[in-house]
Amino acid sequence: MQQDSLFLTSDEADKKRFLESVSKAAEAISKSYTNTRAFSGLKPEEVKDMVSGVELLPKEGIGFDKTMAKVEEMVLPHMLKVSSTDYMAHLHSPPLMESLISELILASGNQSMDSWDQAPVATEIEVDVINQLCKLYGMPDGSDGIFTSGGTQSNLMGITLARDWFCNESLKHDVKKFGLPKEYNKIRIYTSEISHFSVEKSAHLLGLGYNSVVKVPVTANQKMDVDKLGKIIADDIDNGLIPMAVIGTVGTTDYGSIDDLNSIADLCTKFGLWLHADAAYGSGLILSNTASNRLSGIERCDSITVDFHKMFLLPISCGAFFLKDSKNFSHLTLHADYLNREEDEEEGYTNLVGKSMQTTRRFDALKVWMIFQSLGKDKLSDTIDKTLGNAQYFYNKVNSDPNFQVVTVPEISSVVFRYFESDASDEKLDTLNKRIRRDLIHTDGIVIGQTIFDGKVFLKLTLLNPLIESENLDKLINVIKEKSNYNK
């Protein structure tokens, strides 16, 4: 193969090389799906040994074919197969077939979303996708949004804008110009005790510290206890603290439980607080013809985190951040002569960098644009509903089996449970459940999750894959039971 094509250009030789390389790679990728296992089973040391010894930067390159051969030998076989029905561990989805093509298109074009002159059609598509998504989530006129790298960045944006809005409105202090106000260490952010750790990370990054995050207890069904939230806020005010924002979780990472946004929104209105919805997980429910009402109240939130690389089954990375009042994006905007001149906006050139924490940014909006049109609402709804049904099925099975304990009824597609024997101590059960999970990975190539509930080790299924059938779940239950015997 010709080696001197550096780029895909209008040159016929370059085009030929592009087609050949892509088809070679596509063939190697599909060949690597040799069985239904989620993982080859290698231990960490085995993977390390295999990987070490590759010279990263030889003086002379070995060429595409030999490099691909290495990829075929070392990388592809040991990648986790996320489309496997034996992969049920995390909020980590199989990417829909057609979205792989979107990735190829957006990588080939390499548009950068910071300014119109780096991404002309891509900018207008992102703007349009965002506008239509705002409507889909029922947000009012004047709302806006931006694509992000995922939930962590979207949460950081929500809490940043909450801080800047709150300090401007309530403390008459401009954080953008002057940094934190002097009473910064009295500011409080409320979120449930099982919310995502990016809330605390954000508080740290924003100079407010972990202490600013108040963990509100959850009810038995793993939702924020809103009565307690109201009492805690009132007590904090009495104690001279400064409540700023509430972060509601729409689909907790472990349980998929959904906080009652309407009741939380009432409290936020009463106390003058920003309400951010972390819907990184649950945002996908919007596609469901049967369950989208579980998102009720999301349209009342000041800002929303949406992840497309979870329930929407799109490749990493793909997320978005929505804002009820687009004016609040001004807290992030800074004009640079070399990038986003003010005159551009006046002349109709949109530079999206003004709404983003990133500068150079991927054209991830293309993935949503293509998949929504190609599959359509009903088909996407079916994929979501299948996963909700699977979670319900598995819950019913383990809930009625004395050899299992389960935490709560699933609201989305996650079930937290553990293998259980009434005469075994919690300590013994912890060890047993941990061993079952490790053994599943390395012996059976089945990957499931693990977490802690009530101080005890629990196992977790996150059922994002609509290919999973009840038989896969029945098999898993049997395998777990068999393993509990070997391990005694």
Ligand X SMILES: *Cc1c(COP(=O)(O)O)cnc(C)c1O
- Give the alpha-carbon dihedral of 124, 358, 131, 202, to 10 degrees: 180
Phi, psi values for residue 320, rounded to 5°: -150, 160
Q: Which is nearer to ligand X, 198 or 328 (CB)?
A: 198
**333: DSSP letter:** -
Q: Which is nearer to ligand X, 251 or 445 (CB)?
A: 251
Q: How far is the CB of 199 from ligand X (least distance, A)?
A: 8
> How far is residue 155's CA from residue 143's CA, in Å, rounded to a whole number?
17
Q: How far is the CB of 90 from ligand X (least distance, A)?
A: 8
Q: Return the closest-CA partner of residue 275 out of 332, 228, 328, 353.
A: 328
Q: Return the closest-CA partner of residue 368 out of 312, 420, 415.
A: 312
> Are the C-beta atoms of 89 and 448 separated by less than 8 Å?
yes
Tell me the residue nearest to ligand X as measured from the CB. 151
- Both tokens of 326, joined, read 């687009």
Hunting for tokens 């709150």 — which residue is that?
166
Q: Which is nearer to ligand X, 175 or 229 (CB)?
A: 229
Beta strands in 330-437 (DSSP E): 404-406, 414-419
**444: DSSP letter:** I
> Are the C-beta atoms of 105 and 366 separated by less than 8 Å?
yes
> How far is residue 321's CA from residue 302's CA, in Å, rounded to a whole number?
11
Q: How far is the CB of 328 from ligand X (least distance, A)?
A: 20
Q: Which is nearer to ligand X, 126 or 259 (CB)?
A: 259
How many CB atoms lie under 10 A from the CB of residue 37? 18
Q: Which is nearer to ligand X, 282 or 445 (CB)?
A: 282
Q: How far is the CB of 340 from ligand X (least distance, A)?
A: 26
Q: Which is nearer to ligand X, 305 or 381 (CB)?
A: 305
Q: What share of the chain is helix, strand, coil (3-state, %, to 5)?
A: 50, 15, 35
Q: Which is nearer to ligand X, 241 or 245 (CB)?
A: 245
Burial environment of residue 88 by CB neighbours within 10 A (0 to 12, 13 to 18, 19 or more) = buried
Q: How far is the CB of 450 from ligand X (least distance, A)?
A: 16
Q: How far is the CB of 282 from ligand X (least distance, A)?
A: 8
Q: How far is the CB of 152 from ligand X (least distance, A)?
A: 3
Q: How far is the CB of 387 from ligand X (least distance, A)?
A: 15
Q: Which is nearer to ligand X, 167 or 261 (CB)?
A: 261
What is the number of H-type helices and E-type strands within the chain? 14, 12
Q: Which is nearer to ligand X, 196 or 418 (CB)?
A: 196
Name the helix (H) or strand (E) containing 12: helix 12-31
Q: Which is nearer to ligand X, 129 or 429 (CB)?
A: 129
Return the exposure string of 117-138: e unless at least 16 CB atoms fall within 10 Å of the residue's CB, then b.
Answer: ebbeebbebbbebbeebbeebe
Q: Distance from CA of residue 224 to its chain's centroid?
A: 20
Q: Which is nearer to ligand X, 181 or 319 (CB)?
A: 319
Hunting for tokens 């076989």 — which residue is that?
77
Q: Which is nearer to ligand X, 184 or 274 (CB)?
A: 274
Q: How far is the CB of 317 from ligand X (least distance, A)?
A: 7
> How far is residue 18's CA from residue 105's CA, in Å, rounded to a whole number?
12
Q: How far is the CB of 360 from ligand X (least distance, A)?
A: 18
- What contacts 34, CB < 8 A, 6 or more positions away? 77
> How far is residue 202's CA from residue 210's CA, in Å, rounded to a whole number?
9
Which residue type, as a one-letter code, is found at position 70?
Answer: K
Q: How far is the CB of 153 from ligand X (least distance, A)?
A: 6
Q: How far is the CB of 350 from ligand X (least distance, A)?
A: 25
**Interface residues with ligand X (CB under 6 A)?**
91, 150-152, 155, 196, 198, 249, 253, 278, 280-281, 307, 319
Q: How far is the CB of 373 from ligand X (least distance, A)?
A: 24
Phi, psi values for residue 243, rounded to 5°: -65, 135
Q: Which is nearer to ligand X, 145 or 150 (CB)?
A: 150
Q: Return the closest-CA partner of residue 147 out of 325, 438, 369.
A: 369
